Amino acid sequence: MIEKLNSIKEEALNEIQDVNDETSINNFKSKFLGKKSAFSDVMSGMKDLSAEEKKNVGMVSNEVRSFIQDLIDKKADSIKKEGLNKKLEKDKIDVTLPSKKRRAGTKHPLTQVREEIEDLFISMGYDVVSGPEVDSDENCFEKLNLPKSHPARDAQDSFYITDDMLLRPHTSSMQVRYMTSMEEKHAFKMICPGKTYRRDDDDATHSHQFSQVEGLVVGENISLSDLKGTLECFAKRMFGTGREIRFRASFFPFTEPSYEVDVSCFNCDKKGCNICKHTGWIEILGCGMVHPNVLENCGFDHTKYQGFAFGAGIERIASLKYGVTNMRDYFTNDYRFLKNFDRKEI
Ligand SMILES: [Zn+2]
């Protein structure tokens, strides 16, 4: 029996070499120490032995069992370590590789231009005012000297929500709100940037939605020269210090006299190019002295107060500044377009 046990030990020692994973280690265990193993047969034969023999065989069998168990434990341990090493090798991180670039969000080009305009006027003491995009016919037209029958309404034919409420066709409705809400009338300077809506056929230079910035200054002794000086400052800030402006007579119902304002072409310096359509000048905004009717409609005594007003399209200013040829690019959110205005990259 002792010989049998020793040969089991010998066999186990040989076979452990071929054990290399969890399944084979379980098979090995059941083959050498399981219920149907040769070792188990020897154990069950012990009952027929004498006391002395039992003692000897018992000692050897204990020694063989713990030898085999030891083989199993060591093998299981080394298989586990090997698995871990393989996993570590596979998951190895190369800390010297360059990191993935993360792009931070940036402001929309129209927001950037609007804020640049706001900064300029804030520095000149203007309030920046915002308000509802749906407003009454009275605020959008009536009080601005555009009664219901006025032909100039056709140019601003708009999106009505009800008979009296509409998507504002210009931010001038905010000027009306600002003036009428003032309890004690006094001199002021304000700009009102915001979205506006007019019925239009969308193409590269027209859109049913666009944004405006309008300005209004009311006070005593306000003259056309104040308006000219202000707009010259605006043109130089937006298009460069060398720019000149010129006024052309025009018509708006809410101003008298009214003007279209051109800026000298920043691309060709008045020599003529595609941007200025070979005229040397680019139209940038409309303006004029506030019509006395508008002042009266909003509760201001026109014999005491005068004022000037101007309005520019933010898309137009942005397009001129950045050479954008299709204004739909501002609204379609194509990342390839927007990333041109992304100045931050980390
Ligand atoms: Zn030009």
N-term to C-term CA, the chain: 78
Pairing of strands 127-128, 188-197: parallel
Mean local confidence (pLDDT), 143-150: 88
Q: What is the pLDDT of residues 311-327, one digit of tens each?
A: 999 999 999 888 898 98
Contacts of 295 (CB under 8 A, 6+ apart): 179, 218, 301, 302, 305, 306, 307
Among the listed ranges 95-109, 172-186, 197-211, 237-251, which one has the minimum average pLDDT value?
95-109
How does residue 344 score in pLDDT terms, banded at 50, 70 and 90?
low
If you measure from the C-alpha of residue 264 to the centroid of ligand 1, how many angstroms do you get, rounded to a whole number? 8
| Alpha carbon separation from 18 to 14, 73, 77, 127, 330 (Å, rounded) | 8, 15, 15, 86, 70
pTM here is: 0.69
The CA 292 to ligand 1 mean position distance, Å, reads: 37
Q: Are strands 306-313 and 165-167 parallel, antiparallel or unpaired?
A: unpaired
Which residues, by Cβ under 5 Å, contact ligand 1, an ion? 265, 267-268, 273, 275-276
Ligand 1 mean position, distance from CA 205 (Å): 18
Residue with tokens 């006027």: 121
The residues near 294 (Cβ < 8 Å, ≥ 6 apart) are 143, 144, 145, 176, 254
pLDDT digits (tens, 9 = 90+) for 156-175: 778 999 999 999 999 999 99
Q: Order across the sheet with 255-264: list the strands.
A: 127-128, 188-197, 209-219, 306-313, 281-290, 255-264, 245-252
The pLDDT value given to residue 343:
65
Task: Say what the pLDDT of residue 221 is.
Answer: 93
Amino acid 79: pLDDT: 87
Compute the distance from residue 55 Cα to the ligand 1 centre, in Å. 114
Q: Give the model's confidence band at 90: pLDDT under 50 very low, under 70 low, under 90 confident, else very high.
A: confident
- d(C-alpha 244, C-alpha 230), whole Å: 12
State what percent of residues in the chain have pLDDT above 90.
Answer: 51
83 or 309: which leads in pLDDT: 309
Distances 166 to 137, 189, 212 between C-alpha atoms, Å: 7, 26, 17
Please state the rounded mean pLDDT for residues 172-188: 95
Q: HSE, CB side, 13 Å, CA atoms: give it for residue 57.
A: 21
163, 167, 174: which is closest to 139 by C-alpha? 174
- Say which residue, 315 or 6, is predicted with more confidence: 315
Mean residue pLDDT across the chain? 90
The DSSP symbol for 169 reads S
* pLDDT at position 346: 47
Q: How far is the CA of 321 from the centre of ligand 1 (A)?
A: 13
Q: Specify which residues 286 forms β-bridges with.
A: 260, 311
Question: Looking at residue 210, what is its pLDDT?
Answer: 93
Q: Please check whether residue 175 is in contact with residue 276, taking contact to mean a CB–CB distance below 8 angstroms.
A: no
Q: Which two tokens stand for residue 13?
A: 């020692």
Q: How far is the CA of 319 from the centre of ligand 1 (A)?
A: 14
Higher-scoring residue by pLDDT: 35, 112:
112
Contact between residue 135 and residue 165 where contact means Cβ atoms under 8 Å apart: yes
**Angle, helices 38-45/2-15, rounded to nearest 10 degrees:** 160
pLDDT value at residue 60 = 86
Q: Confidence class of residue 281 from pLDDT cuts 50, 70 and 90?
A: very high
Mean pLDDT of 249-262: 95
Going from the Cα of 263 to the center of ligand 1, the distance in angstroms, rounded, reads: 10
241 CA from centroid of ligand 1 (Å)? 16
Closest C-alpha among 189, 278, 294, 277 to residue 233:
189
Output the furthest CA–CA distance in the chain (Å, rounded): 136
Residue 113 CA, ligand 1 centroid: distance in Å: 21
Q: Give CA 188 to chain center in angstroms.
A: 35
Nearest to 152 by CA among 256, 228, 227, 224: 256
